[in-house]
Chains A and B, each alone.
Chain A
Amino acid sequence: MQRATTLRHSETATESAAANDALSRAKQGDQTAFAELVREHQAMVYSLARNFVRDGAIAEDLAQEVFLHLFRNLAAIETPAHLKFWLRKVTGHRCIDFSRRQKSQGGKVSVSLDEAPEPVSVFDMPDSQPDWMLRSTIRRFVATLPEKPRLVVTLRYQEDLDPMEIAEVLEMPLNTVKSHLRRSLAILKEKVTRSLGSEF
């Protein structure tokens, strides 16, 4: 917990006074300041959801829910760094809630790696396409990982968090995070190599 607090506050020194100011004003009910906070963090929240659900419209809905929830809980936010930590955490939980709701309603959020159809080979695409193809393939396979490993991988590679920070955001033991990362990377690498060829 102390480590979480340290992390939460560690970025404070480097954060701009403007961010602090916007947070203070938003807490006092200034809607413009709240809009500034949203614009600053919307890409992070939206992308976390997008990489998890792999659907832009659903990701936007989830992101809106997260920011509405933030609006109701602004008083609890201490610093801009805490805000970032809070947003990542709430987005992660919202994504998992969504996924579980989908499952309970019979919807299929993810398929197993073996069920996922193999994408077209990179050699079949025009020269300008390989980068897009690779990116799309990786995202597709990330979306097939189970919920928690998917969140771990997304936080690691989208947000560039280290395993300790991920463990705090997801309230998960450090060793579990490391294990999820190791196994997910091995699976992803194998799948991507199999799909795109050994030249990858």
Chain B
Amino acid sequence: MKHFDDELKNALRREEPSADFTARLLARVAQEKEGGREPVKEGWSELASEKQNGAPNWLRKLGVVFTLPQINWVTAGAVAALLIASVIGVNRYRQHQFELQRQTEIAAEAEGQRAKEQVMFAMRIASAKLNVAQKKVKDSLQHDDDQQQAGRQQN
């Protein structure tokens, strides 16, 4: 393992950049001094380097979202739009569900009413038939009585 550690150290040892590295950098520094700051490329590295301002890490990270250029506003806008769309979507879904439930209830009620009417109708038919039967029985009894009376009179 020691051998491999040494090989890793050897492989990853420091190297110098190209010879004009410092000169190019100083030229950029001079340019920045003359023409004002270059636009800062924002990212977490900006935060990491500004440890001095004392604000808690999460607060600084949150701050960056609202203080840095348009890309972050675009993100914030997209998130807000997504939230609004979600709220509207949920609301529409709930309305739809409510409407469905109401229609189901109305249909069930109509079905009940129809069943009740059918029962009433059936009862009316049964009642009419009973009346006919009763009438026939009554007529038949009356006819028997009349015959018996006629027989007695002949005798």
Contact = CB atoms under 8 A, between A and B. Distances in A.
Contacts, number: 117
Determine the interface band of chain A, counting residues with CB < 8 A from chain B. Answer: 35 or more
B28 A93 contact: no
B152 interface: no
A160 B4 CA distance: 14
Contacts of B32: 68, 71
B151 interface: no
B4 A39 contact: no
B119 to A, nearest CB: 71
Contacts of B25: 38, 64, 67-68
Interface stretch (A12-20, A41-49, A109-117, A119-127): A41-49
Interface string B99-124: 00000000000000000000000000
A27 interface: no
A117 to B, nearest CB: 18
A31 B17 contact: no
B18 A60 contact: yes
A134 B7 contact: yes
Interface string A77-95: 0000000001001100110
B14 A63 contact: no
Contacts of A94: 43, 45
24 contacts: A31-B26, A34-B29, A39-B22, A42-B16, A42-B22, A46-B16, A46-B21, A51-B12, A56-B17, A60-B21, A64-B24, A69-B45, A72-B37, A76-B49, A90-B45, A90-B48, A94-B45, A134-B7, A135-B7, A138-B12, A139-B11, A158-B12, A171-B48, A192-B7
Interface of A: 31, 34-35, 38-39, 42-44, 46-47, 50-51, 56, 59-60, 63-65, 67-69, 71-73, 76, 86, 89-90, 93-94, 96-97, 134-136, 138-139, 142, 153-154, 157-158, 160, 171, 185, 188-189, 192
Given A31-B26, A47-B15, A64-B24, 7 more contacts: A38-B22, A42-B16, A68-B38, A71-B29, A93-B44, A93-B45, A185-B1
